[in-house]
Amino acid sequence: MPSLRSVPRRAILPVLVASAISLTACSGGGSSSSSSSASGGKALVVDTSFNLKTADPGRMYEQTGLLVDRALYDTLLTFTGSDVSKPVPALAESYQESKDGKTLTLKLRQGATFSDGSPVTADDVVFSLNRVRDLKGNPSFLLDGVTVKKVDDTTIELRSAQPNPALPFILPNPALGIVNSKVVKAHGGTEGADDKAESFLNGQSAGSGPYVLESFNASTQVVLKANAKYWGTTKPTYGKVVIRNVQAPTQKLNVQRGDSQVALDLSADQAQGIGGGLQVAKGASASVFFLLANHSSAVSKVTSNPKFVEAVRKGVDYQGLLQLAGEGSVQAAGIVPSMINGALPAAQATQRDVAGAKAALAASGVTAPKVKLEFPSDYTLNGLSFQPLAERIQANLKEVGITVDLAPAPIATALQNYRDGKEEMGLWWWSPDYPDASDYLAFLPGKLIGLRAGWKKGDATSLEQAGDKAAQTIGDERAQQYQQIQAQLNQGGPIVPLFQPSQHVVSAASVTGLALNPVWTIDLAALGSK
């Protein structure tokens, strides 16, 4: 789920995805095979816990929607498998960034067609991207400050007022899928807030992707069928894909007995020893759990004390949290997750230091501190409930001399306090909007999460200047700049990165081509069968 914006939502560092994700076959009985599609060819059944509102790419920004629209709509650029270190061509055959980082020029691929057989044109690209930006829906921020221009029939220019080196990493997001402008306009589509095409796009897709939409229900299931006119060289293996809304325990039962071929949301405990000849793709999720200690003295005289925050940072038992999180989870060295360029090396992760924590607390001058820790009570992420994590943190800090009162609340209530910057302490998570370290500048003073932590613009001038510089830097030195920013955050910021939870996707032995991706989870069209 992307970053809680919409919840009910390169070269310097080695990319760690290849080593973080593994695919293993579990020992056991015979493998499950895909069922036959009524329309011919194999059918694939995928179980997941829905976070879904719409299939309209201009309005879609939920995790299940990203999974669905990835199959329905091609984007200008994409990522290969799990590797998010470098965007690669899709509908654009090539792209070039200007030296000042303000202009991205893309050459369109010739021969790409929509599902009705009509060609994908530069006009379709301009309409699609302008529509997302100007609808002012959940994904509109992806193109804030970006103008889209047709240079000629094969060339598109994206221009930003400020250098925008993250733009190639933003364009693969399925929310920026290219729609058939003639079809969408014929059903009420516009490039503004008066657009009325959503109901049409929830009943019928208008893209150039390998699948088309057969039926859509945001509460129960979504059915895709193979695009008979797909222009790509690799045609989809499955004639039909059924995506069902199923809770994790039932997902496990279904995949074990062959009623489904893929289960997306099992926890580490549920996936462990699942057997039955099934495969488990596992690795660290791109989500990062973190603690927030409010920097505003108006909210808390305790958490606004930097030495108190130091005591919290040193007092947390990170390895103990990893035990709760399960196999495949990793400690977050910084706020940027390990598979994104600019992440801190694991060796720089904060280590527990109880003596150091007690010394910092003594230096704070706060006697017998008592704080309230808020977190969502009715939400799980990668199979993890927040309550056991909060209880472990409570016990950790008690050893240091800090009393933590737990204050769980339904996510709608907890989110409101979090977004309003009223939490004294909070336990939350952040998932990437796009796989570039610039997305994490939101944690700096005056930015989205910084403000939620009571960290206002001007509270850390040197750090803010470093963030402004990194946001506009072109080239390989960006990664080092983001590492330095995170090191400063770890030293004196109000955010304490905790861990990246494990992610487990279980599939039948017959399914091939499964790769975990931090943006769209898995690529349905890349799945094959043996």
Instruction: Kindly give the pairing relationship between strand 42-48 and strand 238-245.
Output: parallel
pLDDT for residue 30 is more than 70: no
pLDDT, tens only, 426-473:
999 999 989 999 999 999 999 999 999 999 999 999 999 999 999 999
Residues 115 and 220 grouped into a single domain: yes
Tell whether 76 and 166 lie within a shared domain: yes
Is the predicted pLDDT of residue 367 greater than 50, yes or no?
Answer: yes
The answer on pLDDT for 26 being more than 50 is no
Q: What is the pLDDT of residue 476?
A: 84
Most trustworthy range by pLDDT among 38-42, 313-317, 432-436: 313-317
Tell me what the pLDDT averaged over the chain comes to.
91
Q: Phi and psi of 490, rounded to 5°?
A: -70, -25
For residue 450, how many other CB atoms are within 10 A of its CB? Answer: 27
For the cut 50, the answer to whether the pLDDT of residue 506 exceeds it is yes
The answer to whether position 166 is within a domain reads yes
Q: Is the pLDDT of residue 29 over 50?
A: no
Q: Does pLDDT of 41 surpass 80?
A: no
Pairing between β-strand 92-97 and β-strand 380-381 as defined by DSSP bridges: unpaired
pLDDT at 9 over 90: no
Q: Where are the beta strands (DSSP E) in 254-321?
A: 262-266, 279-284, 288-293
Q: What is the CATH number of the domain that holds 479?
A: 3.10.105.10
Distance from C-alpha of 243 to C-alpha of 507, rounded to nearest angstrom: 14
Asked whether 121 and 153 are in contact (CB, 8 A), the reply is yes
**Domain span at 487:** 288-500
5, part of any domain: no
Whether residue 219 is found in the same domain as residue 321 = no
Chain position carrying tokens 């737990």: 406
Considering the domain architecture, whether residues 249 and 182 belong to the same structural domain is answered as: yes
Record the pTM. 0.87
Q: What average pLDDT does range 276-300 have in this prediction?
A: 94
- pLDDT (average), residues 54-72: 96
7: in domain: no
Number of structural domains (the chain) is 2
Q: Answer yes or no: do 129 and 221 share one domain.
A: yes
Q: Can you say whether the dihedral through the CA atoms of 288, 291, 293, 299 is positive or negative? A: positive
In a domain, 218, yes or no: yes
Which pLDDT tens digit goes with each residue over 73-94?
A: 999 999 999 999 999 999 999 9
For residue 11, is it within any domain? Answer: no
Q: Residue 348 has what pLDDT?
A: 96
- Given pLDDT bands bounded at 50, 70 and 90, which one contains residue 478? very high
Whether residues 59 and 151 share a domain: the answer is yes
337 or 2, higher pLDDT: 337
Q: Which long-range contacts (CB under 8 A, 24 or more apart) does 486-490 make?
A: 486/333, 486/334, 486/335, 486/336, 486/343, 486/344, 486/440, 487/334, 487/344, 487/348, 488/460, 488/462, 488/463, 489/334, 489/335, 489/443, 489/444, 489/463, 490/313, 490/334, 490/344, 490/348, 490/350
Provide the residue type at 47 as one letter: D
Q: In this structure, are 413 and 518 located in the same domain?
A: no
CB atoms within 10 A of CB 510: 18
pLDDT of the residue at 35: 53
Q: Is residue 341 within 8 Å of 31, Cβ to Cβ?
A: no
| Predicted local confidence at residue 412, as pLDDT | 85
CATH number at residue 219: 3.40.190.10
Residue 13 in this model has a pLDDT that exceeds 60:
no
DSSP bridge pairs for 148: 158
Task: Answer with the residue of higher pLDDT: 355 or 266.
Answer: 355
**Residue 151 shares a structural domain with residue 231:** yes
How does pLDDT run across 510-519, given as a tens digit for each residue? 999 999 999 9
Query: Around Cβ 522, how many Cβ atoms within 10 Å?
Result: 25
Same domain, 273 and 350: no
- Residue 437 contacts residue 336 (beta carbons within 8 Å): yes
Of 13 and 217, the one with more pLDDT:
217
Tell me whether strands 238-245 and 330-331 are parallel, antiparallel or unpaired.
Answer: unpaired
Q: Are 112 and 193 part of one and the same domain?
A: yes
Asked whether residue 262 is domain-assigned, the answer is yes
| Same domain membership, residue 260 and residue 293 | no
Please give the Cα distance from 301 to 161 (Å, whole number): 40
Are 366 and 511 members of one domain?
no
For residue 1, is it within any domain?
Answer: no
pLDDT at residue 341 greater than cutoff 70: yes
Alpha carbon distance 197, 204 (integer Å): 10
The residues, ordered by sequence, that sit 6+ positions from 233 with a Cβ below 8 Å of its Cβ are none
Structural domain contains residue 61: yes
Report the distance separating Cα 102 and Cα 108, nearest Å.
19
